[in-house]
Amino acid sequence: MPDVAAAPADTRPYSPGLEGVIAGESSLSQIDGEAGALRYRGYPIGELVEAGSYAAVAELLWTGDWNPGAKLPCQPVPDAVMTALRALPRSARPMDALRTAVSVWGSVTDPSWPATPDQARALTAFSPSALAAFARLRQGLEPVAPDPDLDLVAGYLYQVNGRAPDTETARALDAYFVVGAEHGFNASTFTCRVITSTRSDLASAVVGAIGAMKGPLHGGAPSEVVEQIHEVGSPEKAEQWVRDTLAKGDRLMGFGHRVYRAYDPRAAALRKVAEGMEHRPEWLELAIAVEDVALRVLQEKYPDRPLRTNVEYYAAPVLMGVGLTPDLFPATFALARHAGWTAHAIEQGANNRLIRPDVRYVGPAERPLPR
């Protein structure tokens, strides 16, 4: 039997990982990697951290309106969700528990398509309560009901620890939530938009986003920064540790970014908050000292490479400083990103087109089945 002619070669450009590909348009955030700038709906991230709150930033993303007095208290966990959380093994990962909780929440509330700001508020205010409940259940403690007088971030810490945080601690974590709220078409946000584009509901979109963020290439770096800082031990050992690590060919976690070629503006905002804390934990002091050494040594060894501090580096000391355990870091990041995920779901639904890219076939040409 004669060979079947191969199809014409597909010569359209291909970018692995979709790097550099414009896959959509959004009015939510603008990232300038060369200048090291991040803006939410035009407002610089540093100003939002300084003058706003997570509740205000979430409302900005959902509605486009700036209301610095916005409030968003945590909401109770529905009985069905609590039953599911109690059924999980204590060894379950917090990200798995959060993913499960959002899925059950979607079954209970049955959100319609397209997503709305009210749905976004409800889901964003529910998730911290669910994660806090699991954090206590795995310790053999009973969950704490949310305090309606506390805003979302302080309310989350209250439900984790069973006591309200001091103003300084709540402020530090709120700054982390603000800088983590939104960041363009990252892997989890793009996942959220793809699911939304099929006209699936908000809970399904956020479950998918949580699944994408669970991967260590997306949501796990702050935990690794903690291990790194612990290895250093003290400021006087920082330089030798950094040089030894680089000599072995190992990475310094918290430095370098796929987008930013300058100092990550989110890291700058978090460092400013950290340095302004009246009672900085020793761990935070160590992180600041290690960063200064690392930047100097990296510039010395790799003068042509833009290896600057990224947000994960200061996420770690802030999260550690407010009393969260490292295994809660990725799930707490997911709580912060709820504002951005849900805002993208709203934006996608408002001008929807099914996201369905092409793929280049690289297998064998058409051929007869062996007889």
Tokens of 246: 């680089």
Spatial separation of the C-alpha atoms in residues 129 and 151, rounded to whole Å: 12
Tokens of 67: 């209301």
Spatial separation of the C-alpha atoms in residues 298 and 200, rounded to whole Å: 45
Spatial separation of the C-alpha atoms in residues 29 and 45, rounded to whole Å: 10
Tokens of 95: 């990200």
For residue 39, list its beta bridge partners.
30, 44
Spatial separation of the C-alpha atoms in residues 252 and 242, rounded to whole Å: 8
**Cα angle value 315/318/324 (rounded, 5°):** 100
DSSP type of residue 309 = B
**Cα angle value 159/62/67 (rounded, 5°):** 80
Spatial separation of the C-alpha atoms in residues 182 and 57, rounded to whole Å: 10
Spatial separation of the C-alpha atoms in residues 92 and 209, rounded to whole Å: 19
Show which residues are catalytic: 257, 312
